[in-house]
Structure 1
Amino acid sequence: MALHEKKSTRVIFFYHGSGTFSYGVAQVFLHVLNGLDKSRFEPILVITGSLDEPIANLDSNVRVVELHKRSLKGVFFSFVSCLKECRPEIVISAMEHPNVLAVLAKFVSRLDFKLIITSHNVLTSRLNEMWSKRQARVVRFLIPLMYPRANFFLCVSDAVRKDFLAYIKTPVRNAVIYNPVFPECLLSRAPVAKEKGLLVVSSRLTTHKNVSEAVRALSHLDESYRLIVLGDGSERVKLERLVVDLGLESRVDLLGFVKDPFAYYSKAETLVHPSRWEGFGNILIEAMACGCQIVANSQAGAPSEVLCNGEYGFLYEGGNAESLANNVLKARSEPKDRQSLINYASEFTDVRVARQYERLFDSLLMDT
């Protein structure tokens, strides 16, 4: 190496999961990994489990390490070994369990790296709806104990940040960086004519995603409207039953998981987002980039923030299917300017958001 050549900064992205690398936090990591300047940073993706197949669309310059572990104990000791082998300058982890493991691993490894822990969802909602009472008690105990030991706490929205800080008693350095949602190349897609009356929901079919509210809203709209649902999950059978009960079989299509949701956003007139809570809401930006009108639950936390309190979409009263339907009608009669939506969405590309991560990395490395 030439004397004047600067060594690149090694950054580990610590992801808890296995199987496919295609949802939520995985997609955020994917876009940041792809967007980072590889002449300055050497990114390594460490996955706790095993992948079913290579990660689609991942930059070939990103090294992937699979720990092939399932138990938290196995993950922990394998991760400590990985840290000692890779010797990173920065480690970034996501969600509660990996964040706690990363804090412990830094202590046990005795390595001097900067640790960034991140949160991608509203903790209070997860505690109330996704975990048992025992699990919730453990999380409530660990977060104020462990999170302040990290060098930085990063959140994907101000709604997430404010909620989490209520649980952390000790001051911790923190900031918000919105999610990277799609690659810059998507903006060069040729525009597609919108199909009047076509509504789309893109979501896992789980209780808190509240897709049934969109189906009920359709029953308040005339027959020129139809609904396409992209995604699958535990609530599918209940949704199929609801569609039949409301007599909407000819107007609702449950398509399951699709590889290219952008093809549907491009054709849809409006994206409906009825989720009860969201840490960010990537789908809002994805659809906006395709010129979709947006109708979202006003009580879901981050979606109101992402839509700038209605500047870039329509907010309805959560739990009220008729309010949702009325806002779908308003989206047609008083639509947001399509080019303004696309311009706003362009702020969330992989490269633009990766530059924000790079500035955070640089500032932490300058700390003594």
Structure 2
Amino acid sequence: MKKKRVLFFIYQMGAGGAARTLLNILNNMDQSKFTPVLVTLDYNGNYEQYLNPEIKFIKLKTKRLRSAIFPLAKVIREEKADIVFSTIPNYNTIAILGNLFSFTGAKNIVREAAYLGGTTSADLKLRLYGLLYKFSSKVIALSNGVKGNIVHRYKVKPEKIEVIYNPVDIESIQRNINEGTIPEEHAVIFTGAEKVMITAGRLVNDKDQKTLIKAFAEVNRRIDTKLVILGEGKLEKELKSLAEELNIVEQVYFLGFQENPYIYFTKADVFVLSSKREGFGHVLAEALATGTPVVSTNAQPGAQEVLNNGEYGLMCEVGDVKALAEKIYETLTWDEKQINHAIQKGLERANTFHAKTIVKQYENIFDQTFDQ
């Protein structure tokens, strides 16, 4: 049987969730049935080193997204791609245009991972994406909430949309935990009698670490705690200033981006997500896979789907400092039986997002699209 050639296009294999998702799909594909090819712009990304060396990796000779259309079209032709897969609206646009200008029979599949829109200008932009998505064979939504948003704001027909959750590479996470080490200057944070809260994500408004820091200050008045923040972003200076204002600067640790966050998660007593909205909440699933109890805001639509409305981790409303503090305090004061129960439930939930299971769903979509 002829192997199907699937070309994956993304801006770069950087530190973001989209690149991590593509990495998990690529590394877990059945290469007896599919030949995956990865194409990015001319950037070096953190996740490149983890890509299966058997997978062909092409960098276009441009750093500008708009300049990638015709070079991408050429690669689609040369690689004889059957399917062009992309994720995130801007990249989906280039992938569709590149495919159109390739003048081949390749079919587009686009993926939407975020819950976008809400303002008049943003909704108009999404409507334009929706018009372009008519050239795609399938649209993959990261959650049921994201699917509803695509139907409502992009005006894409629901029958064209498939929901596939993010793949979590559980074996890779366990390998990182077993083989990874925390630098000495960081390891000392996790020693001592204090409870440790941890979070990970870009330091941007949508992740709302301001609410988390304020909630941490409330918890810290009741029990001795530390807060570890993994990630980088434009709000770092502002968040550090907030910690100073609240007189907790010595208990809050900004450790930047870590290639292996999982070893840090396992050392913490609770993982906390304070986001305003999440298409899926991939980091929640990863935290559960490390055996760490989680607390999350009701970041729609994804967080409530990952945690099944609080079944697998305590939840509170977005932006509610006191409620978030209360849920964190409750988790940190559980007895051993409650902790073990939460860990076991979390591991069971994470396993439903196992990369092998999720990638099989992608492969089924590739097969269906190829046979259309």
**1:309-361 CA distances to partner (integer Å, 9 max, x unpaired)?**
11101111211111001111222435553122112212223322211111111
TM-score by length of 2: 0.88
- Equivalent residue number for residue 98 of structure 2: 105
After TM superposition, the structure 1 = structure 2 runs for residues 178-327 of structure 1, keeping only pairs within 5 Å, are 178-187=165-174, 197-221=195-219, 222-327=222-327
Paired residues of 1:280 and 1:306 also in contact (CA < 8 A): yes
The match for 1:44 among 26, 37, 45 is 37
- Equivalent residue number for residue 186 of structure 2: none
Paired residues of 1:155 and 1:161 also in contact (CA < 8 A): yes
Paired residues of 2:123 and 2:153 also in contact (CA < 8 A): no
TM-score by length of 1: 0.89
Q: Take 2:325 and 2:46, find their aligned partners in 1: how far apart are those partners?
A: 41
Q: Take 1:87 and 1:349, find their aligned partners in 2: how far apart are those partners?
A: 30
Distance 1:69 1:190, change over 3 A: closer
Q: Take 1:85 and 1:274, find their aligned partners in 2: how far apart are those partners?
A: 45
Q: Take 1:31 and 1:163, find their aligned partners in 2: how far apart are those partners?
A: 25
- Equivalent residue number for residue 183 of structure 2: none
Using the TM superposition, give the Cα deviation of residue 255 of structure 1 relative to its aligned residue in structure 2, in angstroms.
1.1
Q: Secondary structure at the match of 2:300?
A: coil
The match for 2:342 among 323, 337, 344 is 337
Using the TM superposition, give the Cα deviation of residue 225 of structure 1 relative to its aligned residue in structure 2, in angstroms.
1.8
Q: Take 2:256 and 2:124, find their aligned partners in 1: how far apart are those partners?
A: 35
Give the number of aligned pairs.
353
Where do 5+ consecutive residues of structure 1 fail to align? Answer: 1-5
Q: Secondary structure at the match of 2:7?
A: strand
Where do 5+ consecutive residues of structure 2 fail to align? Answer: 181-189
Paired residues of 2:41 and 2:64 also in contact (CA < 8 A): no
Q: Take 1:65 and 1:148, find their aligned partners in 2: how far apart are those partners?
A: 27
Q: Secondary structure at the match of 2:345?
A: helix
Paired residues of 1:117 and 1:154 also in contact (CA < 8 A): yes
After TM superposition, the structure 1 = structure 2 runs for residues 136-215 of structure 1, keeping only pairs within 5 Å, are 136=122, 139-171=125-157, 173-187=160-174, 197-215=195-213
- Equivalent residue number for residue 328 of structure 2: 328
Runs of 4+ in 1 over 6 A off after TM superposition: 191-196
Q: Take 2:213 and 2:48, find their aligned partners in 1: how far apart are those partners?
A: 34
Paired residues of 1:100 and 1:142 also in contact (CA < 8 A): no
Q: Take 2:248 and 2:66, find their aligned partners in 1: how far apart are those partners?
A: 49
Letter in 1 for 2:48: I
- Equivalent residue number for residue 77 of structure 1: 70
**1:149-204 CA distances to partner (integer Å, 9 max, x unpaired)?**
21000011111111111123352511111111224243465699998621001111
Percent of pairs identical after alignment? Answer: 27
Using the TM superposition, give the Cα deviation of residue 7 of structure 1 relative to its aligned residue in structure 2, in angstroms.
2.6
Paired residues of 1:278 and 1:303 also in contact (CA < 8 A): yes
- Equivalent residue number for residue 356 of structure 2: 351
**1:262-318 CA distances to partner (integer Å, 9 max, x unpaired)?**
111101111110011111111101111111111111143210111111110111121
Letter in 2 for 1:147: Y
Q: Take 1:94 and 1:154, find their aligned partners in 2: how far apart are those partners?
A: 9
Q: Secondary structure at the match of 1:10?
A: strand
The match for 1:117 among 107, 110, 117 is 110
What is the RMSD computed on CA atoms of the aligned residues?
2.4
Q: Take 2:273 and 2:46, find their aligned partners in 1: how far apart are those partners?
A: 30
